[in-house]
Amino acid sequence: MKKVLFITFLGLLLCCKNESTTPHSAKEKADSNAKETVESPPDSEEIEPEILLGKQDRQALKKSPYNTWFDTNYEAYTIDTTSVKKLIPYLKNITIKAFIGTWCEDSQREIPTLYKILDATNFDYKKLELVTVSREKDTPDKFEEGLNILMVPTFIFYKDGKEMGRYVEFARETLEKDMLTIVSEQSYKHSYEN
């Protein structure tokens, strides 16, 4: 009997995790040009933090409640200094579009790591575009349109305006090594490519 109850409880948890949030409110659509647009909380007893939507910068992630996971994961990550040193010359001509969900555990793990790696390379942050998406992987201003954002985080690396490759959700090796493979123009397939 305990096993049946446990399996039922586990099934309910998994189903709840995949539920969508409510559609964007009219106010959000009207405020779509605002830097920090948020989704309305779901109509359930469990209230989750507001979801950032649209173009952001690091400072948005340094504010409560996002700073709790951002700061913790940034400090906890130990960079691979050998790979980071190799990244430095390649990143000079690279731009990055980073699509994340502030609601997503993988994004909460990977975006602080990306910032820590880029900090160690003295990256020019004018070349990083950070876009936060809804659970449906979209934004009110359609920043994701035409980019095939199916999972987050997705980090897209560009050279001379052309996509070199993308890092999706989790590393094949480590974020530093995967980035190095992409920006040095070696053959790379993200975790969901065959």
pLDDT over threshold 50, residue 164: yes
Taken in order 81, 83, 88, 92, the sign of the CA dihedral is negative
Q: Which of 137, 134, 173 is nearest to 154 (CA)?
A: 137
Distance from C-alpha of 88 to C-alpha of 78, rounded to nearest angstrom: 17
What mean pLDDT comes out for the span 71-85? 97
Task: For the full predicted model, state whether its pTM sits above 0.85.
Answer: no
Q: Which H or E run includes 58?
A: helix 58-61
- 22 within a domain of the structure (yes/no): no
Least confident range from 16-20, 63-67, 151-155: namely 16-20
> How distant is the alpha carbon of residue 39 from its chain centre?
17
Distance from C-alpha of 175 to C-alpha of 168, rounded to nearest angstrom: 10
User: Which residues are bridge partners to 125 per DSSP?
Assistant: none
pLDDT band at 194 (very low <50, low <70, confident <90, very high): confident
Structure confidence by residue, pLDDT tens digits, 89-146? 999 999 999 999 999 999 999 999 999 999 999 999 999 999 999 999 999 999 999 9
- The owner of tokens 């001509």 is 93
- 178 within a domain of the structure (yes/no): yes
- 129 within a domain of the structure (yes/no): yes
- 69 within a domain of the structure (yes/no): yes
> How distant is the alpha carbon of residue 175 from its chain centre?
13
Distance from C-alpha of 192 to C-alpha of 194, rounded to nearest angstrom: 7
> How distant is the alpha carbon of residue 114 from its chain centre?
10
Provide the total of helices (H) and of strands (E) in the chain, helices listed first.
7, 6
- 20 within a domain of the structure (yes/no): no
Domain count, the chain: 1
Distance from C-alpha of 156 to C-alpha of 99, rounded to nearest angstrom: 8
| pLDDT confidence of residue 48 | 58
Surface-to-core class of residue 8, CB atoms within 10 Å of its CB (0-12 exposed, 13-18 middle, 19+ buried): exposed
Structure confidence by residue, pLDDT tens digits, 26-65? 333 333 333 444 444 444 445 556 899 999 999 999 999 9
In this structure, what CATH number is given to the domain that contains residue 172? 3.40.30.10
SS3 120: helix
* More confident site: 189 or 49: 189
- 136 within a domain of the structure (yes/no): yes
- 152 within a domain of the structure (yes/no): yes
